[in-house]
């Protein structure tokens, strides 16, 4: 599970930062799950090591343009490149109408490979390995935060122990690796869990933007391995943050602290904070670290591998 930031600016792009988009790579299944898709995201793919052809799911937080204007370009390019892979898109009310309106006036045939799902608080998606849920945050328009949970896996299978018990290799090993109980031809009942090491705890990734500080973000981020949270403003600009329903660096840190997360990565920075200004992004980092020391600042193409729990 690996996170790559494709855009870390808020509102508008800058020379060094594009607008919002985060790619979650799942190497074990050769898939990329995309969170938000601001204008120019497909260009960011070309400048990164992430393959846009592997995008399987896209999760949109809200309908503001700096989070959605790159969708049709990415979808259209995938179609022109002959990418026949199905793409599921999840997001708030109005997303499907927006996509179909864009497709209509740009003469793009979305076909049957694109499926749009309107989300509401609770479970969004689940398969045998992952579960995705969302919560409604606090912004000027309906905005959702997303939580991706990797399901726990059985520990390492002890092949030598299985051989010592006289269990013949083959498909039966696969079932035992999954911790299942099987009955051998000689009548013996074997509990696969007893042939596996300690279970591997699944990792948890949470993405919260755009929002001012709210209880829903804290609830969504509980015990996450990594929380990606917007930090549009510095602490001294808190009044502006409350007016525009965005977060300050200290709000993001407070969410991380209250939720007991392992790592906070802040993103979605206002372009007002430049390297030569009175307030820089390093100041935002210092403000956050005073509350939550395990804080990092995201930048375009920064990649973070979510560590496995021990």
Q: Are 176 and 159 contacting, i.e. CB atoms less than 8 angstroms apart?
A: no
Per-residue pLDDT, 220 = 98
Q: Which residues of the chain have pLDDT under 50?
A: none
Q: Where are the beta strands (DSSP E) in 70-161?
A: 87-91, 114-118, 122-126, 130-136, 144-150
Helix (H) or strand (E) run with residue 182 in it? strand 181-183
What sign results for the dihedral spanned by CA atoms 282, 283, 285, 290? positive
Residue 22's DSSP bridge partners are 5, 35
Mark whether 66 is an active-site residue: yes
The predicted model scores a pTM of 0.89
Choose among 94, 96, 95, 98: nearest CA to 106. Answer: 98
CATH superfamily label, 2-153+200-305: Ribonuclease Z/Hydroxyacylglutathione hydrolase-like (3.60.15.10)
Per-residue pLDDT, 217 = 98
Choose among 169, 249, 181: nearest CA to 213. Answer: 249
Per-residue pLDDT, 205 = 98
Per-residue pLDDT, 80 = 57
- 105 contacts: CB under 8 Å, gap ≥ 6: none
Per-residue pLDDT, 195 = 86
Q: Which of 66, 210, 225, 237 is catalytic?
A: 66
The pLDDT tens digits of the residues spanning 209-268 come to 999 999 999 999 999 999 999 999 999 999 999 999 999 999 999 999 999 999 999 999
Strands 31-35 and 21-26 turn out to be antiparallel
Residue ranges, CATH 3.60.15.10, the chain: 2-153+200-305
Per-residue pLDDT, 192 = 86
Q: Measure the CA angle with vertex 135, ends 143 and 39; round to 5°.
A: 35
Helix (H, G, I), strand (E, B) or coil at 206: strand
What distance in Å separates the CA atoms of residue 167 and residue 118, rounded to the nearest whole number? Answer: 48
């Amino acid at each position: 599970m690996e996170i790559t930031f494709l855009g870390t600016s808020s509102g508008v792009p800058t020379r060094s930062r594009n607008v919002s988009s985060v790619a979650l790579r799942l190497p074990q299944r050769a898939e990329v799950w995309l969170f938000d898709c601001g204008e120019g995201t497909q260009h960011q793919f070309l400048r990164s090591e992430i393959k846009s052809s592997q995008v399987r799911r896209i999760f949109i937080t809200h309908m503001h343009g700096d989070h959605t204007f790159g969708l049709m370009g990415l979808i259209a390019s995938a179609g022109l490149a002959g990418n026949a892979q199905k793409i599921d898109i999840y997001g708030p009310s109005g997303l499907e109408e927006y996509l179909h309106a864009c497709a209509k006036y740009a003469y793009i045939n979305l076909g049957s490979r694109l499926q749009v799902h309107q989300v509401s608080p609770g479970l969004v998606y689940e398969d045998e390995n992952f579960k995705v849920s969302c919560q409604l945050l606090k912004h000027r328009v309906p905005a959702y935060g997303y939580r991706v949970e990797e399901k726990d896996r059985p520990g390492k299978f002890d092949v030598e122990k299985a051989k010592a018990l006289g269990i013949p290799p083959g498909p039966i090993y696969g079932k035992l690796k999954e911790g299942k109980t099987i009955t051998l031809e000689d009548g013996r009942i074997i509990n696969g869990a007893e042939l596996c090491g300690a279970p591997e705890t699944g990792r948890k990734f949470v993405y919260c933007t755009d929002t001012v500080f709210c209880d829903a973000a804290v609830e969504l981020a509980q015990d996450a391995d990594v929380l990606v949270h917007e930090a549009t403003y510095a602490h001294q600009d808190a009044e502006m943050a409350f007016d525009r329903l965005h977060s300050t660096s200290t709000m993001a840190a407070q969410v991380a602290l209250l939720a007991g997360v392992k790592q906070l990565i802040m993103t979605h920075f206002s372009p007002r904070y430049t390297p030569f200004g009175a307030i820089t992004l390093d100041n935002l980092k210092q403000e956050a670290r005073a509350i939550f020391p395990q804080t990092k600042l995201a930048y375009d193409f920064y990649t973070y591998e979510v560590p496995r729990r021990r």
